[in-house]
Structure 1
Amino acid sequence: MIKKPEAIVFFDLDGTLFNSDIDVSPSSFEAIKKLKKNNIIPIIATGRTPCETIDLMEKTKINSIIGMNGQVVIYEKELVYTNSIDKNIIARIYEFSKHEMNIPLSFYNYQKMRVSENSLPTKTFYNYLKQEVPLIDDEIYLREPIQMLLLLCEQGESNYRDRFPELTFIRNTPYCVDVFNHGGSKGNGITKLLQNKGFNDVPTYAFGDGMNDFEMFLTVDHPIAMGNAVDELKEKAEFVADTNDNDGIAKALQKFGLI
Protein backbone atom coordinates (compact mmCIF):
# COMPACT_ATOMS: atom_id res chain seq x y z
CA MET A 1 0.00 0.00 0.00
CA ILE A 2 1.33 3.43 -0.99
CA LYS A 3 2.11 5.70 1.94
CA LYS A 4 -0.06 8.79 1.79
CA PRO A 5 2.04 11.98 1.68
CA GLU A 6 1.52 14.94 3.99
CA ALA A 7 1.24 17.16 0.91
CA ILE A 8 2.13 17.24 -2.78
CA VAL A 9 3.97 20.09 -4.50
CA PHE A 10 3.87 20.38 -8.31
CA PHE A 11 6.68 22.27 -10.05
CA ASP A 12 6.58 23.64 -13.56
CA LEU A 13 10.06 23.65 -15.11
CA ASP A 14 10.81 26.44 -17.57
CA GLY A 15 10.61 29.78 -15.80
CA THR A 16 9.85 28.07 -12.48
CA LEU A 17 12.06 25.27 -11.17
CA PHE A 18 14.55 26.22 -13.87
CA ASN A 19 16.26 29.59 -13.59
CA SER A 20 17.16 31.70 -16.62
CA ASP A 21 20.17 29.46 -17.28
CA ILE A 22 17.84 26.42 -17.62
CA ASP A 23 19.24 25.03 -14.39
CA VAL A 24 17.94 24.33 -10.87
CA SER A 25 19.12 26.82 -8.25
CA PRO A 26 21.00 25.41 -5.24
CA SER A 27 18.26 26.72 -2.94
CA SER A 28 15.65 24.74 -4.88
CA PHE A 29 17.75 21.58 -4.69
CA GLU A 30 17.94 21.93 -0.92
CA ALA A 31 14.23 22.70 -0.69
CA ILE A 32 13.35 19.51 -2.58
CA LYS A 33 15.48 17.45 -0.19
CA LYS A 34 13.70 19.00 2.79
CA LEU A 35 10.27 18.34 1.25
CA LYS A 36 11.06 14.65 0.86
CA LYS A 37 12.29 14.44 4.46
CA ASN A 38 8.95 15.91 5.55
CA ASN A 39 6.98 13.26 3.59
CA ILE A 40 5.92 15.89 1.07
CA ILE A 41 6.10 14.61 -2.50
CA PRO A 42 7.66 16.90 -5.13
CA ILE A 43 6.28 16.28 -8.63
CA ILE A 44 7.39 17.86 -11.88
CA ALA A 45 4.51 19.31 -13.92
CA THR A 46 5.76 20.30 -17.34
CA GLY A 47 5.14 20.50 -21.03
CA ARG A 48 8.25 18.37 -21.47
CA THR A 49 8.25 14.62 -21.84
CA PRO A 50 9.56 12.20 -19.21
CA CYS A 51 12.43 11.28 -21.54
CA GLU A 52 13.52 14.94 -21.58
CA THR A 53 13.65 15.08 -17.80
CA ILE A 54 15.53 11.86 -16.99
CA ASP A 55 18.74 13.65 -15.96
CA LEU A 56 16.86 16.26 -13.94
CA MET A 57 14.80 13.65 -12.11
CA GLU A 58 17.93 11.69 -11.30
CA LYS A 59 19.72 14.79 -9.96
CA THR A 60 16.78 15.96 -7.85
CA LYS A 61 15.61 12.45 -6.86
CA ILE A 62 12.11 13.40 -8.01
CA ASN A 63 10.42 10.18 -9.16
CA SER A 64 7.05 11.58 -10.28
CA ILE A 65 5.98 13.69 -13.24
CA ILE A 66 2.91 15.20 -14.85
CA GLY A 67 4.40 15.30 -18.34
CA MET A 68 3.43 16.78 -21.68
CA ASN A 69 0.94 19.14 -20.00
CA GLY A 70 -0.89 16.29 -18.29
CA GLN A 71 -0.90 13.79 -21.14
CA VAL A 72 1.20 11.34 -19.13
CA VAL A 73 1.29 10.81 -15.36
CA ILE A 74 4.03 8.85 -13.61
CA TYR A 75 3.98 8.51 -9.82
CA GLU A 76 7.05 7.12 -8.05
CA LYS A 77 8.18 5.58 -11.39
CA GLU A 78 4.78 3.91 -12.02
CA LEU A 79 2.85 4.82 -15.17
CA VAL A 80 -0.58 5.99 -14.00
CA TYR A 81 -2.23 7.63 -17.04
CA THR A 82 -1.73 8.51 -20.72
CA ASN A 83 -3.89 10.54 -23.11
CA SER A 84 -3.00 9.84 -26.75
CA ILE A 85 -4.11 11.83 -29.81
CA ASP A 86 -6.07 9.94 -32.49
CA LYS A 87 -3.72 9.18 -35.40
CA ASN A 88 -6.30 10.37 -37.96
CA ILE A 89 -6.29 13.79 -36.32
CA ILE A 90 -2.49 13.80 -36.36
CA ALA A 91 -2.53 12.95 -40.07
CA ARG A 92 -4.84 15.92 -40.74
CA ILE A 93 -2.79 18.39 -38.75
CA TYR A 94 0.43 17.16 -40.32
CA GLU A 95 -0.92 17.62 -43.84
CA PHE A 96 -2.23 21.09 -42.97
CA SER A 97 1.07 22.07 -41.36
CA LYS A 98 3.19 20.78 -44.22
CA HIS A 99 1.20 21.93 -47.25
CA GLU A 100 -0.63 25.06 -46.06
CA MET A 101 1.32 26.50 -43.12
CA ASN A 102 4.91 25.34 -43.76
CA ILE A 103 5.29 24.68 -40.03
CA PRO A 104 7.32 21.66 -38.86
CA LEU A 105 6.00 19.38 -36.12
CA SER A 106 7.45 17.47 -33.21
CA PHE A 107 5.83 14.16 -32.20
CA TYR A 108 6.06 13.26 -28.52
CA ASN A 109 5.13 10.25 -26.47
CA TYR A 110 6.31 9.50 -22.96
CA GLN A 111 9.26 7.46 -24.23
CA LYS A 112 10.61 9.33 -27.25
CA MET A 113 10.59 12.47 -29.40
CA ARG A 114 10.72 12.80 -33.18
CA VAL A 115 10.49 15.72 -35.63
CA SER A 116 9.00 16.02 -39.09
CA GLU A 117 12.05 17.85 -40.46
CA ASN A 118 15.33 19.43 -39.36
CA SER A 119 14.71 22.96 -40.57
CA LEU A 120 15.60 26.38 -39.12
CA PRO A 121 12.50 26.58 -36.86
CA THR A 122 13.34 23.12 -35.53
CA LYS A 123 16.94 24.02 -34.79
CA THR A 124 15.93 27.33 -33.25
CA PHE A 125 13.53 25.73 -30.80
CA TYR A 126 15.80 22.92 -29.62
CA ASN A 127 18.73 25.32 -29.35
CA TYR A 128 16.52 27.46 -27.11
CA LEU A 129 15.98 24.39 -24.90
CA LYS A 130 19.71 23.54 -25.09
CA GLN A 131 18.81 20.14 -26.54
CA GLU A 132 19.91 18.14 -29.56
CA VAL A 133 17.37 18.02 -32.39
CA PRO A 134 15.49 14.69 -32.18
CA LEU A 135 15.60 12.17 -35.00
CA ILE A 136 13.47 12.81 -38.08
CA ASP A 137 10.47 10.48 -38.44
CA ASP A 138 7.27 11.95 -39.84
CA GLU A 139 5.46 8.60 -39.75
CA ILE A 140 5.99 7.67 -36.11
CA TYR A 141 2.33 8.47 -35.35
CA LEU A 142 1.29 5.64 -37.67
CA ARG A 143 3.19 3.10 -35.56
CA GLU A 144 3.16 4.43 -32.00
CA PRO A 145 0.79 6.37 -29.73
CA ILE A 146 1.50 10.09 -29.60
CA GLN A 147 0.43 12.12 -26.58
CA MET A 148 1.56 15.60 -27.68
CA LEU A 149 2.57 17.53 -30.77
CA LEU A 150 4.53 20.75 -31.07
CA LEU A 151 4.08 23.38 -33.75
CA LEU A 152 7.58 24.74 -34.24
CA CYS A 153 6.80 28.35 -35.09
CA GLU A 154 6.88 31.89 -33.76
CA GLN A 155 3.36 32.65 -35.01
CA GLY A 156 0.49 31.08 -36.90
CA GLU A 157 -1.24 28.92 -34.30
CA SER A 158 -4.46 30.95 -34.60
CA ASN A 159 -5.03 29.29 -37.99
CA TYR A 160 -5.33 25.89 -36.30
CA ARG A 161 -7.90 26.46 -33.57
CA ASP A 162 -11.08 26.52 -35.65
CA ARG A 163 -9.85 23.79 -37.97
CA PHE A 164 -8.95 21.40 -35.14
CA PRO A 165 -11.51 21.86 -32.32
CA GLU A 166 -10.54 18.43 -30.93
CA LEU A 167 -7.20 19.86 -29.86
CA THR A 168 -5.86 22.49 -27.49
CA PHE A 169 -3.11 24.88 -28.63
CA ILE A 170 -0.98 26.64 -26.02
CA ARG A 171 2.10 28.69 -26.76
CA ASN A 172 4.71 27.48 -24.31
CA THR A 173 7.86 29.24 -25.60
CA PRO A 174 8.52 31.94 -28.22
CA TYR A 175 9.34 29.14 -30.66
CA CYS A 176 6.72 26.44 -30.11
CA VAL A 177 3.07 25.71 -29.43
CA ASP A 178 2.01 22.66 -27.39
CA VAL A 179 -0.81 20.63 -28.95
CA PHE A 180 -2.82 17.95 -27.14
CA ASN A 181 -6.34 16.59 -26.78
CA HIS A 182 -8.98 19.14 -25.88
CA GLY A 183 -9.65 18.87 -22.15
CA GLY A 184 -6.16 17.60 -21.46
CA SER A 185 -4.04 19.81 -19.22
CA LYS A 186 -1.72 19.73 -16.24
CA GLY A 187 -4.83 20.15 -14.12
CA ASN A 188 -6.47 17.09 -15.69
CA GLY A 189 -3.29 15.07 -15.15
CA ILE A 190 -3.22 16.09 -11.49
CA THR A 191 -6.87 15.08 -11.09
CA LYS A 192 -6.15 11.67 -12.63
CA LEU A 193 -3.22 11.17 -10.23
CA LEU A 194 -5.17 12.12 -7.11
CA GLN A 195 -8.10 9.90 -8.09
CA ASN A 196 -5.92 6.93 -9.03
CA LYS A 197 -3.88 7.02 -5.82
CA GLY A 198 -6.64 7.99 -3.40
CA PHE A 199 -4.97 11.30 -2.61
CA ASN A 200 -7.98 13.59 -3.00
CA ASP A 201 -7.69 14.65 0.66
CA VAL A 202 -3.95 15.44 0.42
CA PRO A 203 -3.14 19.18 0.38
CA THR A 204 -1.76 20.25 -3.01
CA TYR A 205 0.50 23.14 -4.00
CA ALA A 206 1.70 24.23 -7.43
CA PHE A 207 4.37 26.61 -8.73
CA GLY A 208 4.13 28.01 -12.26
CA ASP A 209 4.80 30.97 -14.51
CA GLY A 210 2.99 30.48 -17.83
CA MET A 211 -0.42 29.94 -19.38
CA ASN A 212 0.04 26.18 -19.60
CA ASP A 213 -0.09 26.30 -15.78
CA PHE A 214 -3.54 27.93 -15.75
CA GLU A 215 -5.63 24.75 -15.33
CA MET A 216 -3.13 23.45 -12.77
CA PHE A 217 -3.75 26.59 -10.70
CA LEU A 218 -7.49 25.95 -10.84
CA THR A 219 -6.99 22.36 -9.66
CA VAL A 220 -4.65 22.57 -6.66
CA ASP A 221 -5.42 23.94 -3.20
CA HIS A 222 -2.58 26.46 -3.18
CA PRO A 223 -1.49 27.97 -6.53
CA ILE A 224 1.78 29.93 -6.31
CA ALA A 225 2.94 32.12 -9.20
CA MET A 226 6.57 33.00 -9.70
CA GLY A 227 7.50 36.68 -9.65
CA ASN A 228 8.37 36.37 -13.34
CA ALA A 229 5.00 34.78 -14.21
CA VAL A 230 2.60 36.24 -16.76
CA ASP A 231 0.04 38.61 -15.25
CA GLU A 232 -2.94 36.38 -16.12
CA LEU A 233 -1.48 33.58 -14.00
CA LYS A 234 -0.63 35.88 -11.10
CA GLU A 235 -4.29 36.85 -10.97
CA LYS A 236 -5.19 33.20 -10.24
CA ALA A 237 -2.49 32.72 -7.61
CA GLU A 238 -2.96 32.56 -3.87
CA PHE A 239 0.58 33.91 -3.51
CA VAL A 240 3.16 35.50 -5.81
CA ALA A 241 6.66 34.30 -4.97
CA ASP A 242 10.00 35.87 -5.76
CA THR A 243 11.42 35.16 -9.22
CA ASN A 244 12.97 31.95 -10.50
CA ASP A 245 16.38 33.67 -10.40
CA ASN A 246 16.02 34.88 -6.82
CA ASP A 247 15.22 31.74 -4.79
CA GLY A 248 11.46 32.15 -5.26
CA ILE A 249 10.64 28.50 -4.71
CA ALA A 250 12.59 28.05 -1.48
CA LYS A 251 11.25 31.31 -0.03
CA ALA A 252 7.63 30.38 -0.81
CA LEU A 253 7.97 26.84 0.57
CA GLN A 254 9.27 28.36 3.79
CA LYS A 255 6.39 30.83 3.90
CA PHE A 256 3.86 27.98 3.61
CA GLY A 257 5.65 25.98 6.31
CA LEU A 258 6.51 23.08 4.02
CA ILE A 259 10.26 23.20 4.71
Structure 2
Amino acid sequence: MTNKCVIFFDIDGTLLNHDKELPLSAKKAIFKLKENGHVVAIATGRAPFMFEDLRKELDINTFVSYNGQYVVLNGKVLYTNPLMIPSLEKLTEAAIHNNHPVVFMDHEDMKANVPEHTYIKESIDTLKISRFPTHDPYYYKGRELYQTLLFCPEGEEKQYEQEFHDFDFVRWHPVSVDVLPKGGSKAKGIEQIVKKLGFPQEHQYAFGDGLNDIEMLLTVKNSVAMGNAVEKVKEVAKYVTKSVEDDGIFHGLQLVGLL
Protein backbone atom coordinates (compact mmCIF):
# COMPACT_ATOMS: atom_id res chain seq x y z
CA MET A 1 0.00 0.00 0.00
CA THR A 2 3.08 2.26 0.24
CA ASN A 3 2.69 3.63 -3.30
CA LYS A 4 -1.09 3.97 -3.14
CA CYS A 5 -2.64 7.38 -2.62
CA VAL A 6 -5.96 8.93 -1.73
CA ILE A 7 -7.22 11.76 -3.93
CA PHE A 8 -10.10 14.07 -2.98
CA PHE A 9 -11.98 15.99 -5.67
CA ASP A 10 -14.33 18.91 -5.24
CA ILE A 11 -17.34 18.78 -7.59
CA ASP A 12 -18.50 22.18 -8.88
CA GLY A 13 -15.81 23.89 -10.91
CA THR A 14 -13.45 20.96 -10.37
CA LEU A 15 -14.99 17.69 -11.57
CA LEU A 16 -17.95 19.42 -13.21
CA ASN A 17 -17.60 22.33 -15.61
CA HIS A 18 -19.71 25.49 -15.78
CA ASP A 19 -22.54 23.54 -17.43
CA LYS A 20 -22.39 20.90 -14.65
CA GLU A 21 -20.97 18.35 -17.07
CA LEU A 22 -18.20 15.84 -16.32
CA PRO A 23 -15.47 16.14 -18.99
CA LEU A 24 -14.64 12.80 -20.60
CA SER A 25 -10.94 13.33 -19.82
CA ALA A 26 -11.76 13.65 -16.10
CA LYS A 27 -13.88 10.50 -16.13
CA LYS A 28 -11.14 8.49 -17.83
CA ALA A 29 -8.57 9.87 -15.40
CA ILE A 30 -10.65 8.85 -12.38
CA PHE A 31 -10.99 5.28 -13.61
CA LYS A 32 -7.27 5.13 -14.39
CA LEU A 33 -6.50 6.18 -10.81
CA LYS A 34 -8.74 3.41 -9.49
CA GLU A 35 -7.25 0.91 -11.90
CA ASN A 36 -3.83 1.78 -10.47
CA GLY A 37 -5.06 1.01 -6.95
CA HIS A 38 -5.57 4.53 -5.63
CA VAL A 39 -8.52 5.57 -3.47
CA VAL A 40 -10.68 8.23 -5.15
CA ALA A 41 -13.03 10.31 -3.01
CA ILE A 42 -15.23 13.37 -3.32
CA ALA A 43 -15.05 16.44 -1.06
CA THR A 44 -17.93 18.82 -1.66
CA GLY A 45 -20.24 21.34 -0.12
CA ARG A 46 -23.17 19.51 -1.72
CA ALA A 47 -25.59 17.27 0.13
CA PRO A 48 -25.24 13.51 -0.51
CA PHE A 49 -28.50 13.48 -2.48
CA MET A 50 -27.14 16.17 -4.80
CA PHE A 51 -24.44 14.00 -6.35
CA GLU A 52 -25.81 10.46 -6.32
CA ASP A 53 -25.67 10.25 -10.12
CA LEU A 54 -22.05 11.38 -10.19
CA ARG A 55 -21.07 8.81 -7.55
CA LYS A 56 -22.73 6.08 -9.58
CA GLU A 57 -21.11 7.25 -12.82
CA LEU A 58 -17.64 7.23 -11.25
CA ASP A 59 -18.27 4.29 -8.88
CA ILE A 60 -17.19 6.33 -5.85
CA ASN A 61 -18.40 5.26 -2.40
CA THR A 62 -16.21 7.47 -0.21
CA PHE A 63 -17.04 11.13 0.20
CA VAL A 64 -16.95 14.23 2.36
CA SER A 65 -20.22 16.13 1.94
CA TYR A 66 -21.69 19.29 3.46
CA ASN A 67 -18.17 20.75 3.64
CA GLY A 68 -17.07 18.05 6.08
CA GLN A 69 -20.16 17.59 8.21
CA TYR A 70 -21.30 14.24 6.76
CA VAL A 71 -18.55 11.78 5.87
CA VAL A 72 -18.97 8.35 4.29
CA LEU A 73 -16.25 5.72 3.87
CA ASN A 74 -16.90 2.77 1.54
CA GLY A 75 -20.64 3.40 1.66
CA LYS A 76 -20.90 3.63 5.47
CA VAL A 77 -21.28 6.77 7.57
CA LEU A 78 -17.96 7.46 9.30
CA TYR A 79 -18.47 10.89 10.88
CA THR A 80 -21.15 13.53 11.36
CA ASN A 81 -21.01 17.05 12.78
CA PRO A 82 -24.54 18.51 13.03
CA LEU A 83 -25.55 22.12 13.56
CA MET A 84 -26.55 23.35 17.02
CA ILE A 85 -30.35 23.54 16.75
CA PRO A 86 -31.03 26.17 19.49
CA SER A 87 -28.65 28.59 17.74
CA LEU A 88 -30.15 27.70 14.39
CA GLU A 89 -33.62 28.56 15.67
CA LYS A 90 -32.39 32.02 16.70
CA LEU A 91 -30.65 32.53 13.37
CA THR A 92 -33.84 31.55 11.54
CA GLU A 93 -35.84 34.08 13.57
CA ALA A 94 -33.36 36.82 12.65
CA ALA A 95 -33.46 35.75 8.99
CA ILE A 96 -37.25 35.90 8.93
CA HIS A 97 -37.10 39.41 10.40
CA ASN A 98 -34.68 40.42 7.60
CA ASN A 99 -36.74 38.73 4.87
CA HIS A 100 -33.87 36.30 4.25
CA PRO A 101 -35.16 32.76 3.58
CA VAL A 102 -33.33 29.67 4.80
CA VAL A 103 -33.21 26.05 3.65
CA PHE A 104 -32.63 23.30 6.23
CA MET A 105 -30.60 20.31 5.05
CA ASP A 106 -29.99 16.81 6.40
CA HIS A 107 -28.49 13.78 4.63
CA GLU A 108 -31.78 12.92 2.89
CA ASP A 109 -33.56 16.12 1.96
CA MET A 110 -33.79 19.93 2.11
CA LYS A 111 -36.72 22.08 3.16
CA ALA A 112 -37.30 25.81 2.90
CA ASN A 113 -38.87 27.89 5.67
CA VAL A 114 -40.87 29.84 3.06
CA PRO A 115 -43.11 28.51 0.26
CA GLU A 116 -41.03 30.22 -2.43
CA HIS A 117 -38.45 32.96 -2.94
CA THR A 118 -36.55 34.26 -5.97
CA TYR A 119 -33.18 33.92 -4.18
CA ILE A 120 -33.77 30.21 -3.55
CA LYS A 121 -34.71 29.54 -7.16
CA GLU A 122 -31.89 31.68 -8.55
CA SER A 123 -29.14 29.91 -6.61
CA ILE A 124 -30.43 26.32 -6.52
CA ASP A 125 -31.06 26.43 -10.28
CA THR A 126 -27.33 26.94 -10.87
CA LEU A 127 -26.64 23.48 -9.38
CA LYS A 128 -28.74 21.88 -12.13
CA ILE A 129 -30.08 19.15 -9.86
CA SER A 130 -33.41 17.37 -10.17
CA ARG A 131 -34.50 18.10 -6.59
CA PHE A 132 -35.78 21.46 -5.33
CA PRO A 133 -36.44 22.35 -1.68
CA THR A 134 -40.09 22.05 -0.68
CA HIS A 135 -41.74 23.97 2.15
CA ASP A 136 -41.43 22.85 5.78
CA PRO A 137 -40.58 25.64 8.25
CA TYR A 138 -40.14 23.14 11.10
CA TYR A 139 -37.89 20.63 9.35
CA TYR A 140 -35.13 21.39 11.87
CA LYS A 141 -37.16 19.86 14.72
CA GLY A 142 -36.24 16.36 15.89
CA ARG A 143 -33.50 15.67 13.36
CA GLU A 144 -29.82 16.34 12.77
CA LEU A 145 -29.05 19.03 10.20
CA TYR A 146 -25.59 19.31 8.68
CA GLN A 147 -25.95 22.55 6.77
CA THR A 148 -28.38 25.39 6.28
CA LEU A 149 -28.54 27.77 3.36
CA LEU A 150 -29.04 31.43 4.17
CA PHE A 151 -30.20 33.54 1.25
CA CYS A 152 -29.07 37.16 1.27
CA PRO A 153 -27.15 39.55 -1.01
CA GLU A 154 -23.37 39.78 -0.70
CA GLY A 155 -22.24 41.55 2.45
CA GLU A 156 -25.49 41.09 4.36
CA GLU A 157 -24.19 37.88 5.97
CA LYS A 158 -21.88 40.05 8.09
CA GLN A 159 -24.65 40.78 10.59
CA TYR A 160 -25.11 37.05 11.16
CA GLU A 161 -21.37 36.44 11.49
CA GLN A 162 -21.22 39.02 14.26
CA GLU A 163 -24.17 37.59 16.18
CA PHE A 164 -24.03 33.80 15.69
CA HIS A 165 -20.68 32.46 16.82
CA ASP A 166 -21.67 28.77 16.67
CA PHE A 167 -21.57 28.92 12.87
CA ASP A 168 -19.27 29.62 9.97
CA PHE A 169 -20.70 31.37 6.92
CA VAL A 170 -19.26 30.56 3.48
CA ARG A 171 -20.64 32.26 0.40
CA TRP A 172 -21.11 30.07 -2.66
CA HIS A 173 -23.48 32.22 -4.74
CA PRO A 174 -24.20 35.97 -5.00
CA VAL A 175 -27.44 35.45 -3.03
CA SER A 176 -26.65 32.33 -0.96
CA VAL A 177 -24.39 31.40 1.95
CA ASP A 178 -23.61 28.01 3.51
CA VAL A 179 -24.18 27.97 7.28
CA LEU A 180 -21.89 25.37 8.88
CA PRO A 181 -20.94 24.32 12.42
CA LYS A 182 -18.12 26.55 13.69
CA GLY A 183 -14.77 25.13 12.63
CA GLY A 184 -16.33 22.55 10.32
CA SER A 185 -14.58 22.14 6.99
CA LYS A 186 -13.71 19.74 4.22
CA ALA A 187 -10.30 19.42 5.87
CA LYS A 188 -11.88 18.09 9.08
CA GLY A 189 -13.91 15.56 7.12
CA ILE A 190 -10.87 14.45 5.13
CA GLU A 191 -8.96 14.02 8.38
CA GLN A 192 -11.50 11.40 9.48
CA ILE A 193 -11.01 9.38 6.29
CA VAL A 194 -7.22 9.47 6.11
CA LYS A 195 -6.97 8.62 9.80
CA LYS A 196 -9.12 5.55 9.22
CA LEU A 197 -7.30 4.50 6.04
CA GLY A 198 -3.83 5.26 7.38
CA PHE A 199 -2.47 7.22 4.40
CA PRO A 200 0.65 9.31 5.18
CA GLN A 201 0.57 13.00 4.25
CA GLU A 202 2.82 12.43 1.25
CA HIS A 203 0.16 10.19 -0.28
CA GLN A 204 -2.76 12.60 0.13
CA TYR A 205 -4.00 14.80 -2.74
CA ALA A 206 -6.85 17.29 -3.11
CA PHE A 207 -8.28 19.28 -6.04
CA GLY A 208 -10.51 22.34 -5.63
CA ASP A 209 -11.46 25.76 -6.93
CA GLY A 210 -13.72 27.60 -4.44
CA LEU A 211 -13.48 29.46 -1.16
CA ASN A 212 -14.79 26.42 0.73
CA ASP A 213 -11.74 24.50 -0.56
CA ILE A 214 -9.14 26.76 1.03
CA GLU A 215 -8.73 24.89 4.32
CA MET A 216 -8.66 21.58 2.46
CA LEU A 217 -5.92 22.80 0.14
CA LEU A 218 -3.96 24.25 3.05
CA THR A 219 -4.19 20.98 4.99
CA VAL A 220 -3.68 18.30 2.32
CA LYS A 221 0.02 18.12 1.46
CA ASN A 222 -0.37 17.74 -2.30
CA SER A 223 -2.98 20.37 -3.11
CA VAL A 224 -4.04 21.37 -6.61
CA ALA A 225 -6.07 24.45 -7.56
CA MET A 226 -7.98 24.46 -10.82
CA GLY A 227 -7.06 27.06 -13.43
CA ASN A 228 -10.55 28.52 -13.02
CA ALA A 229 -10.14 28.81 -9.24
CA VAL A 230 -10.42 32.16 -7.49
CA GLU A 231 -7.06 33.81 -6.78
CA LYS A 232 -7.24 33.17 -3.02
CA VAL A 233 -7.46 29.45 -3.75
CA LYS A 234 -4.55 29.48 -6.20
CA GLU A 235 -2.42 31.26 -3.63
CA VAL A 236 -2.77 28.50 -1.02
CA ALA A 237 -2.40 25.49 -3.34
CA LYS A 238 0.89 23.73 -3.97
CA TYR A 239 0.07 23.33 -7.66
CA VAL A 240 -2.20 25.05 -10.19
CA THR A 241 -3.55 23.04 -13.12
CA LYS A 242 -5.54 24.06 -16.17
CA SER A 243 -9.19 25.06 -16.12
CA VAL A 244 -11.90 22.43 -15.71
CA GLU A 245 -12.97 23.42 -19.24
CA ASP A 246 -9.48 22.60 -20.50
CA ASP A 247 -9.05 19.06 -19.10
CA GLY A 248 -7.80 20.43 -15.79
CA ILE A 249 -8.23 17.19 -13.82
CA PHE A 250 -6.27 15.14 -16.33
CA HIS A 251 -3.46 17.70 -16.58
CA GLY A 252 -3.39 18.17 -12.81
CA LEU A 253 -2.96 14.46 -12.20
CA GLN A 254 -0.13 14.44 -14.72
CA LEU A 255 1.39 17.47 -13.03
CA VAL A 256 1.59 15.72 -9.65
CA GLY A 257 2.78 12.44 -11.15
CA LEU A 258 -0.31 10.30 -10.56
CA LEU A 259 -0.90 9.71 -14.29
Tell me which interval the TM-score lies in, with the shorter structure as reference length: over 0.9
Equivalent residue number for residue 34 of structure 1 = 32
Residue 89 (structure 1) shift? 0.9
> Is this contact kept in 1: 2:30–2:58, CA < 8 A?
yes
Equivalent residue number for residue 106 of structure 2 = 109
Change (3 A) 1:223 1:106: same
Equivalent residue number for residue 63 of structure 2 = 65
Equivalent residue number for residue 255 of structure 1 = 255
Equivalent residue number for residue 119 of structure 2 = 121
Equivalent residue number for residue 13 of structure 1 = 11
Equivalent residue number for residue 132 of structure 2 = 133
- Establish whether residue 183 from structure 1 lines up as the match of residue 183 from structure 2: yes
Provide the TM-score with structure 1 as the length reference. 0.94
After superposition, the C-alpha distances for 1:6-31 in whole angstroms (9 at most, x for unaligned) are: 11111111111111111110000000
Misfit runs of 4+, over 4 Å? none
Q: 2-side partners of 1:45 and 1:89: how far apart?
A: 26
Equivalent residue number for residue 144 of structure 2 = 145
Residue 51 (structure 1) shift? 1.0
Change (3 A) 1:145 1:35: same
Residue 4 (structure 1) shift? 8.3
Change (3 A) 1:178 1:201: same
Residue 41 (structure 1) shift? 1.3
Q: Which SS does the other structure have where 2:218 is aligned? A: helix
- What is the percent sequence identity of the aligned residues? 37
- CA-based RMSD of the aligned residues comes to 1.5
Q: 2-side partners of 1:23 and 1:112: how far apart?
A: 23
Equivalent of residue 44 in structure 1, options 42, 45, 69 = 42
Q: 1-side partners of 2:233 and 2:201: how far apart?
A: 25
Q: 1-side partners of 2:191 and 2:46: how far apart?
A: 19
AA aligned to 1:252 is: G
Residue 162 (structure 1) shift? 0.9
> Is this contact kept in 2: 1:6–1:202, CA < 8 A?
no
Q: 2-side partners of 1:217 and 1:60: how far apart?
A: 23
> Is this contact kept in 1: 2:44–2:64, CA < 8 A?
yes
Equivalent residue number for residue 243 of structure 1 = 243
> Is this contact kept in 1: 2:5–2:199, CA < 8 A?
no
Q: 1-side partners of 2:242 and 2:160: how far apart?
A: 36
Q: 1-side partners of 2:70 and 2:183: how far apart?
A: 14
Equivalent residue number for residue 168 of structure 1 = 168
Equivalent residue number for residue 213 of structure 2 = 213
Q: Which SS does the other structure have where 1:245 is aligned? A: helix
Residue 233 (structure 1) shift? 1.0
After superposition, the C-alpha distances for 1:195-246 in whole angstroms (9 at most, x for unaligned) are: 2333345611111111100110121111100111111111111111000100
> Is this contact kept in 2: 1:8–1:202, CA < 8 A?
no
> Is this contact kept in 1: 2:218–2:237, CA < 8 A?
no
Structure 2 unaligned segments of length 5 or more: list them. Answer: none
After superposition, the C-alpha distances for 1:111-157 in whole angstroms (9 at most, x for unaligned) are: 22111122111111121212342221111111211011111233211
Q: 2-side partners of 1:178 and 1:47: how far apart?
A: 8
Mean CA deviation greater in 109-118 or 235-244:
109-118
